């Protein structure tokens, strides 16, 4: 008779953790921790967002804007920092991944908050990001929450970084 081993879901460290170690940035008791939650990209990409949505059978991702920063963007494999460009980026409560604001997303944010001022964008609150077409190109789009959005039903994965 064959016995089947049962996998135990326990994400607690097996090594001793020094007292001065930084705090864990997510809830280790959550059994739904995903790869992209513990090793997020620095910036959202259309492919990455589409994969995240597909993994969760979702149409959009609801995020809470907590700030805007200016970031120097360049590809270290192709460019030197002096060849990069400065872009505004949205910061979110749910993830350390930043969303680069291009012209299309800047126009979307300006309409959403009623102002072209970056300081006002930082006060946008909850927004939806989803794949879409803007200025004739497939890209990440920013939209207001749907009117029927129920905030009491939240994706458990977005609570990992709270």
Burial environment of residue 65 by CB neighbours within 10 A (0 to 12, 13 to 18, 19 or more): buried
The answer to pTM > 0.75 is no
The residue extents of the domains of the chain are: 35-159
How many Cα atoms are found within 13 Å in the side-chain-facing hemisphere of 139?
16
Closest CA to 99 of 38, 42, 155: 42
Looking at residue 2, its pLDDT comes to: 66
Rounded percentage of the chain residues whose pLDDT exceeds 70: 85
pLDDT tens sequence across 86-114: 999 999 999 999 999 999 999 999 999 99
Do the bridges between strand 126-134 and strand 137-143 make them parallel or antiparallel, or are there none, so unpaired? antiparallel
User: Which two tokens mark 160?
Assistant: 């990992």
pLDDT tens sequence across 22-62: 887 777 777 777 776 776 689 999 999 999 999 999 999 99
Tokens 């009117």 belong to: 147
Instruction: Give the integer Cα–Cα distance in Å for 73 and 160.
Output: 27
3-state secondary structure of 99: strand
Tokens 């990209």 belong to: 41
Looking at residue 22, its pLDDT comes to: 82
Instruction: Give the integer Cα–Cα distance in Å for 158 and 92.
Output: 10
């Amino acid at each position: 008779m064959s016995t089947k081993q049962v996998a135990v879901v326990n994400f607690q460290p097996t090594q001793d953790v020094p007292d001065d170690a930084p705090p864990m940035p997510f809830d280790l008791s959550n059994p739904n921790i995903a790869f992209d939650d513990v090793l997020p990209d620095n910036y959202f990409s259309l492919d990455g967002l589409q994969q995240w949505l597909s993994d969760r059978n979702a149409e959009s991702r609801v995020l809470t804007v907590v700030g805007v920063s200016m970031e120097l963007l360049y590809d270290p494999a192709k460019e030197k920092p002096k060849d990069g460009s400065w872009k505004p980026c949205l910061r979110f409560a749910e993830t350390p991944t930043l969303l680069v604001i291009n012209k299309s997303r800047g126009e979307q944010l300006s309409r959403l908050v009623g102002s072209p001022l970056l300081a006002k964008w930082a006060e946008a609150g909850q927004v939806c990001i989803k794949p879409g077409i803007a200025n004739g190109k497939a890209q990440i789009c920013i939209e207001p929450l749907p009117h029927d959005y129920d905030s009491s039903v939240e994706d458990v994965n977005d609570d990992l970084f709270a």
